[in-house]
Amino acid sequence: MLALASVSVGGQIAEWPTFRGDASRRGTLDASAAPGVPGLAWRFREEKLLDRRPFASSPAIVGDRVIIGGDSYRVYCLELATGKPVWGFDAKWPVFSSPAVWNGRVYVGEGLHEHTDCKLYCLDLQSGKLLWSLETKSHTESSPTVADARVYFGAGEDGLYCADAATGKMLWQHKGPHVDASPLVAEGRVYVGSGYDFEGVLCLSAADGRPLWKRAMPAPVWDAPTFAAGRLYIGIGNGTLTDEPEKPYGEVRCLDPKTGGDLWRFTDVRSSVLTSVAVRGGVAVATSRDGACYALDAATGRRLWRTDVHAPILCSPAVTRDHALFGDENGIFHCLALKDGAKVWALDTSDDVSVVVPDPRILSCPAVVGGRVVFGSSNGSVYCVEEARR
């Protein structure tokens, strides 16, 4: 049973077509708004208990469709209004990758770290029909991004790929370092983080994959960088989604996107930052395994507020004009006031676990469109929260 603990806001219809909302990975859209008084619009999960698997993929929302990948080896298309399935596509491996939607097509990878020979799939948005696939020698858990009719994605030990978004023809491949993170494309450059072999950030030419700069960090950069107001923001942290390090280290850093040089560092974090930074209105919001959400001045890195939720946060936040939204390891989905970090409402999904899917963690990053918030859970469900009916 779901428990809602509550606090206004209307919204305009927009779209959230890719991981973190757009190619800049800011975790926000200008028209996005969260419910002020939350109500559960719908919950999707496989009808048969034995068919249920975790959803770590983050949803994309385009028109009246929600696209999300599951550990069930499937890509799902759901109705935004009802959560009813429209189509499903069977992949070869579990789908951790978050889909990107462009020009009526869905782009999504497959596989986890232990898998090889994984593909990037291009599907028809309306029918789920396979249009083309591009096979790699490693895993494609990275979430693709589409810019200028090109699709960019990481492929583990295979590095970073760029392909023609219409045909799937490979345009270039940068073979190192190991890339699990999702690429960011901005102003003719591709930025991507790494945590294996090399710990840091790499900048390449979007046109031909030529390396422009490479910046080592004190710990891995596991998630996508963020581009906002001519600056690059990254979360840094050791450990993984499944393993907490013996001596945790984390920080948030702001870089010059042209050189990779530091603009500021925020190191007052008690554990790893394994997630992307959300940026809106001069505020940078980051979450940490230490169980806190941090709001920083995006220009200076000065801490504006910190709110503890007392459970590790392994989900990148989304921000609206008034709220910050994210889930935690205990299955609680939180809504905080962006201005001061006050707790506005929380949704407890932990009771939805079962013998088949006993993990309550929320790793899926929320998509926020038209007053609705959609996210997946490791308990095998996808949730849509909207303004409560009175």
pLDDT value of position 364 = 98
Residue 154 has pLDDT above 90, yes or no: yes
Mean pLDDT of 235-260: 94
| Lowest-pLDDT choice from 273-282, 284-293, 381-390 | 381-390
Mean pLDDT, the chain, rounded, equals 94
Q: 29 falls in which pLDDT band (50, 70, 90)?
A: confident
Residue type, 251: E
CA distance 232 to 229: 9
Residue 1 has pLDDT above 90, yes or no: no
Residues 234/256, Cβ–Cβ less than 8 Å: no
Q: 11 falls in which pLDDT band (50, 70, 90)?
A: very low
Residues 176/159, Cβ–Cβ less than 8 Å: yes
Mean pLDDT of 272-278: 98
Residue 260 has pLDDT above 50, yes or no: yes
- With a pLDDT cut of 70, the percent of the chain lying above it is 96
Residue 155 has pLDDT above 50, yes or no: yes
Q: 33 falls in which pLDDT band (50, 70, 90)?
A: confident
- With a pLDDT cut of 90, the percent of the chain lying above it is 87
Mean pLDDT of 154-165: 98
Mean pLDDT of 340-368: 95
pLDDT value of position 179 = 96
pLDDT value of position 6 = 33
Residue 376 has pLDDT above 80, yes or no: yes
pLDDT value of position 32 = 74
* CATH no. for 3-387: 2.130.10.10
pLDDT tens digit sequence for 329-349: 999 999 999 999 999 999 999
Domain edges within the chain: 3-387
> Residue 159 phi/psi, 5° resolution?
80, -135
pLDDT tens digit sequence for 174-207: 998 999 999 999 999 999 999 988 999 999 999 9
Residue 285 has pLDDT above 90, yes or no: yes
The DSSP annotation for 214-253 comes to EEE-SS---S--EEETTEEEEEEESS-SS---SS--EEEE
| Closest by CA position to 123, among listed 71, 76, 156 | 76
Residue 13 has pLDDT above 60, yes or no: no
Residues 126/67, Cβ–Cβ less than 8 Å: no
Q: 316 falls in which pLDDT band (50, 70, 90)?
A: very high
Could you tell me where the beta strands, DSSP code E, fall in 91-208? 100-102, 105-108, 119-124, 130-135, 145-147, 150-154, 160-164, 170-174, 184-186, 189-194, 200-205
Q: 389 falls in which pLDDT band (50, 70, 90)?
A: confident
pLDDT value of position 151 = 99
Residue 146 has pLDDT above 70, yes or no: yes
CA distance 167 to 289: 40
